[in-house]
Chain A
Amino acid sequence: DAKTTQPPSMDCAEGRAANLPCNHSTISGNEYVYWYRQIHSQGPQYIIHGLKNNETNEMASLIITEDRKSSTLILPHATLRDTAVYYCIVRGVRYNNNDMRFGAGTRLTVKP
């Protein structure tokens, strides 16, 4: 199983960069790394995804190591509204389905 490992919780100061790590050491070559976040009592929100290159969008940057066994989600200037549970998910042809399976995630708390 291409499971992921994330720290259960992290704190970050408002205005600073939040760096959320994820280990996916059993990832295979055609599996993507996805990041979502869930604010309390809402559905998960898509943030970013990548295969092997680093990616950036208006929300965040995704840094994937060269061996693809780990990645880091970077929120460049965290705000209080970024407080949420962040999920790192590996998705690909290992499962004969197009679904996503969530782990426990990292609870990020942005503090003033």
Chain B
Amino acid sequence: GAVVSQHPSRVICKSGTSVKIECRSLDFQATTMFWYRQFPKQSLMLMATSNEGSKATYEQGVEKDKFLINHASLTLSTLTVTSAHPEDSSFYICSASRDRTYNSPLHFGNGTRLTVT
């Protein structure tokens, strides 16, 4: 089955530094990947849509200069949290699907838990 891999699974960083999270589709090519954020005891919230070869589309309220997304190949999207602050501490999850039809499930990575101290 389709597998989406995220790295790292956990990261702790100091306030003011930047952190990069990778999302890879291991056995399929994904022209589109999605980034979600989940705070404790809450549901997943879509942050942005990552499009291969073009700019990401951000949801309302998500700062594009703070959450940099790069989708440089059909199997890799990266999310960089710039100048991280404690309030950015969260569970970040990516997803991708084999194609762009609504009949094709999204497959999710296992998430990256970011802790900013």
Report the nearest A residue to B96, measured CB to CB. A98
| B46 and A92 contact, CB distance less than 8 A | no
| A44 and B44 contact, CB distance less than 8 A | yes
| A91 and B102 contact, CB distance less than 8 A | yes
Q: Does B54 interact with chain A (Cβ within 8 Å)?
A: no
Q: Does A24 interact with chain B (Cβ within 8 Å)?
A: no
| A31 and B93 contact, CB distance less than 8 A | no
Q: Which of B44, B101, B113 has a CB less than 8 Å from the CB of A41?
A: B113
Q: Does B95 interact with chain A (Cβ within 8 Å)?
A: yes
Interface residues on A, range: 20 to 34
Q: What count of chain B residues pass the 8 Å CB interface test?
A: 27
Give CA–CA (A51, B103) in the complex, Å: 8
30 A–B contacts, CB within 8 A, in A order: A32-B103, A34-B105, A36-B108, A38-B44, A41-B91, A41-B111, A43-B4, A43-B93, A43-B110, A44-B44, A44-B93, A44-B95, A44-B108, A45-B108, A46-B107, A49-B105, A51-B103, A87-B43, A91-B102, A93-B102, A97-B57, A98-B49, A98-B97, A98-B102, A99-B46, A100-B95, A100-B106, A102-B43, A104-B43, A105-B43
Q: In whole Å, how far is A2's beta carbon from the nearest beta carbon of chain B?
A: 12
Beyond the given pairs A46-B107, A100-B46, 5 more chain A to chain B contacts, judged by CB atoms under 8 angstroms and listed by A's residue number, are: A41-B91, A43-B6, A43-B108, A99-B46, A102-B36
Give CA–CA (A66, B90) in the complex, Å: 40
Q: Does A103 interact with chain B (Cβ within 8 Å)?
A: yes
- Which residues from B are CB-within-8-Å of A102? 36, 43-45
Contacting A at CB under 8 A, from B5-20, are: 6
Q: Does B25 interact with chain A (Cβ within 8 Å)?
A: no
- Which residues from B are CB-within-8-Å of A105? 43
